[in-house]
Structure 1
Amino acid sequence: MSQQLIESHRENAEVYTDPVVCKQKTLQLLKEINMPNGLLPLEDIFEVGRNVETGFVWLKQKKAKEHKFKKIGKLVWYDTEVTAFVEDRRMKKVTGVKSKEILIWVALTDISITDPEGKKITFGTPTGISRSFPVSAFEEEEEKEEEKK
């Protein structure tokens, strides 16, 4: 289904396929929409697309990836294709991202920073249940510390 969605937004979209440029564009996108730079810790990204008119973005990586955000102890799974509609401090209609809650994987469909100070980030599910965490838990510095070990 996400492939059909990507195709429907491909016209007039900026599409990048160089892995180095894809990583840069992912970080640039997060910065532009005022989201933490470690929110999408994808690897081997081979395509990034963005339709500025519709706000639709997609990221394709070679294989699905699990990532543990150590500061909050949360395991998140990123599919080979991650899509979303983006706007300032929000990613909505997200596909390809799940969080492990006790024993089950729960799809995340909405990610937003709604508090006025920008210190909390909220993750919503298709059922309307949401949880908030400190934005600092999703900053990339966490990854750099891991690499030093």
Structure 2
Amino acid sequence: MALITDDVKAKAEIYHGDEICQEKSKFLLQEVGLPRGLLPLRDIVECGYVEETGFVWLKQKQKVEHCFEKIGKRVSYSPEITAVVEKSKIKKLTGVKAKELLVWITLDEISADGPPAGKLTFKTPAGLFRTFPASAFDIEGEGRKQAKVAPPPDQSSQAVSQN
């Protein structure tokens, strides 16, 4: 695509090979507050990220279709996917389509209701949108990582001793 120019590549962190690209793409999704299973790609040959603009691209050997079983939605990922990422949002998305009834609909934005994401909203270029639980896009067996906050042990003992 014309979006990945030599200028863009000169400013980017670029990785090659499925294993490292899988790791980097999942890490990036996690860093921006989105589920790690949102991009279930296979045989990734290249990925790149320009930190100053948030521009990211992923190239895989061939188109991949994936069904998110928890919501019954089929999604198609082109051999080349590009986007701009920011906290809790992917915008200017290319290369991703979702099947709605019998029609494939282009998606151009995915946003979360805040970290940690409880719901994800998927938007089309025409402004149509659908919202789904973020847990539907978790990696199978990984689950949502919830931070458990417990009071420090000395606070509970202070409360008892003050009575």
Q: Equivalents in 1 of 2:124, 2:139: separation in Å?
A: 24
Give 1 or 2 for the bigger CA radius of gyration.
Answer: 2
Q: Secondary structure at the match of 1:54?
A: coil
Instruction: Identify the residue that residue 84 of structure 1 maps to in structure 2.
Output: 83
By how many angstroms is 1:115 displaced?
5.2
Unmatched tracts of structure 2, length 5 or more: 144-163
TM-score, reference length from structure 1:
0.90
Instruction: Identify the residue that residue 147 of structure 1 maps to in structure 2.
Output: none
Instruction: Identify the residue that residue 15 of structure 1 maps to in structure 2.
Output: 14
Q: Tell me the matched-pair count.
A: 142
Q: Secondary structure at the match of 2:3?
A: helix
Q: Deviations 1:66-118 (Å, cap 9, x if unpaired)? A: 00000000000000001100001100000000000111100000000025763
Unmatched tracts of structure 1, length 5 or more: 145-149
Instruction: Identify the residue that residue 122 of structure 1 maps to in structure 2.
Output: 121
Alpha carbons 2:33, 2:117 under 8 Å: kept: no
Q: Deviations 1:8-47 (Å, cap 9, x if unpaired)? A: 5222100001221111111111111111011000000010
C-alpha spacing 1:63/1:135, structure 2 compared with 1 (3 Å): same
Instruction: Identify the residue that residue 110 of structure 2 maps to in structure 1.
Output: 111
Instruction: Identify the residue that residue 6 of structure 1 maps to in structure 2.
Output: 4
TM-score, reference length from structure 2:
0.83
For the aligned residue pairs, the C-alpha RMSD in angstroms reads 1.7
Q: Secondary structure at the match of 1:4?
A: coil
Q: Equivalents in 2 of 1:117, 1:20: separation in Å?
A: 26
Question: Where do 1:53-68 residues align within 5 Å?
Answer: 53-68=52-67
C-alpha spacing 1:87/1:116, structure 2 compared with 1 (3 Å): closer
Structure 1 segments (4+ residues) deviating >3 Å:
none
By how many angstroms is 1:143 displaced?
8.9
Higher alpha-carbon deviation: 130-139 or 110-119? 110-119
